[in-house]
Amino acid sequence: MKVTAAVLHGVRQPFELQALDLAPPKRDEVLVRLLAAGVCHSDWHLVTGDSKCAFPLVAGHEGCAEVEAVGAEVNHVKPGDRVVLCWAPHCGTCWFCTHGRKCLCPVFTKKRWAGTLMDDTTRLSLRGSPVHHFCAVACFADRAVVHQSSCIPVAATVDPAVAALVGCAVTTGVGAVLRTAEVEPGSSVAVFGVGGVGLSVVMGARIAKAERIIAIDPAVKRCELARSFGATDTISDIADPASVADRIQSLTNGRGVDYAFEAVGIPAVQEQSLGVVRPGGTVVLTGLSAMGSSTNLPGAIITRREINVLGSYYGTADPQRDFQLYLNWHKSGDLPLDRMVSKTYRLDQLNEAYADMLAGDTARGVILM
């Protein structure tokens, strides 16, 4: 089958729209037709080289699709079903899968970064040579073949653009609040970076009934949007970290926040977040840092102030449980996810979409197929 995809051939290269060959799904795989794909910073890490994956590849890991065909062993979805794609497929039988931590399943970890599916091969090719699948999803294309565990069925009536965001940003941000940190009612929260994940942290904090939610981002537009999603205070002048810390101290009666969420993946910002939490508070790292980078979180401070430092990967999600829950909250009005979609693009406008993201002009751009 011929498909159209945005192919990345190397670091610092633009996405290039090309016709690829897509092999049919194997026994435990699903062929899907993409409806929408979110423009996420994690894919941009491939362009900068901060994340390492084999080239050439088709990026895109935040998607909503319609099932077109299924392998012989697939029985939880059928042709015509609408699905949200999960970029952390799992085996279902290992210790992590059977103990509620499917997104930490080690079976797929190396394969995701190798750009293959479960059998260590790709379904995509260009003139007979393999093209790799980012995060086993590769949804910057009009069709994709994915492992069956990447397909989470949802209602046929859900807006594809909204559903796509649940596939990554929403689950990562809301889950970091509710699943990883378990934020308590009446608490104070600081959120460093309010792109798609950070805005989802803000919404999650509001659902958790946090009393004060402070959004920190240099983009004034994003700070304004954060207020509309529930932030009580915003800080956009971030040139001097000490003044940011002073402002947060003043907003929390000199104590510091109960929870600080870092949603950009920059080591200096991760270190900054440690300095704004109160003794006994919690720092949650949700942003993906560059591979090989390191962050100085001094043990002397962490120990003496009893600060908890938590990593949050995919919002500690169980996709089968959480995707539908978050969509239900959207339907009830508790998660106004449609307002996160700042702009929509065609697939051939993907480079423009990333330029807008980097300029801070969008909360979340979405490619509509």
pLDDT in tens, 346-362: 999 999 999 999 988 77
Q: How far apart are CA 192 and CA 206, in angstroms?
A: 16
pLDDT of amino acid 198? 96
Residue-wise pLDDT for 81-112, tens only, equals: 999 999 999 988 999 999 989 889 988 888 88
pLDDT value of position 256: 96
Residue 291 confidence (pLDDT)? 80
**Residue 239: what pLDDT?**
84
- Residue 188 vs residues 280, 285, 356: alpha-carbon distances, Å: 13, 17, 31
238 Cβ partners below 8 Å, 6+ apart?
216, 217, 218, 244
267-271, 286-290, 320-324: least confidently modelled range? 286-290
Beta partners for residue 366, in sequence order: 38, 344
Q: At what angle do helices 267-274 and 241-251 cross, to 10 degrees?
A: 40
Could you tell me which residues come within 8 angstroms of residue 325 by beta carbon, excluding any fewer than 6 positions away?
A: none
Q: Is the pLDDT of residue 316 over 80?
A: yes
How much is the average pLDDT of 191-211?
Answer: 96
Partners of 16 in the beta sheet? 7
CA nearest neighbour of 54 among 154, 146, 122: 122
The mean pLDDT of 52-72, rounded to a whole number, is 96
pLDDT at 180: 97
| Domains delineated in the chain | 2-157+336-368 (3.90.180.10), 173-313 (3.40.50.720)
pLDDT of residue 288: 84
- DSSP code for 141: B
Q: Kindly state the helix (H) or strand (E) to which residue 204 belongs, with its residue range.
A: helix 196-207
- Write down the pLDDT at residue 241: 87
pLDDT bucket at 332, cuts 50 / 70 / 90: very high
> What is the amino acid identity at position 290?
A
What average pLDDT does the chain have?
94
Contact of 153 with 82, CB cutoff 8 Å: yes
Using CA atoms, how far apart are residues 46 and 249, in angstroms rounded to an integer?
Answer: 37
Asked if residue 69 has pLDDT above 80, the reply is yes
**Residue 292: its pLDDT value, please?**
81
- The strands making up 233-235's β-sheet, listed across from edge to edge, are 233-235, 212-216, 188-192, 257-262, 277-285, 308-311
Q: Could you give the CA distance from residue 143 to residue 276 in angstroms, rounded to a whole number?
A: 45
Q: 352 Cβ partners below 8 Å, 6+ apart?
A: 345
Which residue do the tokens 């508070």 mark? Answer: 281
Residue 263 binned pLDDT confidence (cut-offs 50, 70, 90): very high
Q: How confident is the model at residue 255 (pLDDT cuts 50, 70, 90)?
A: very high
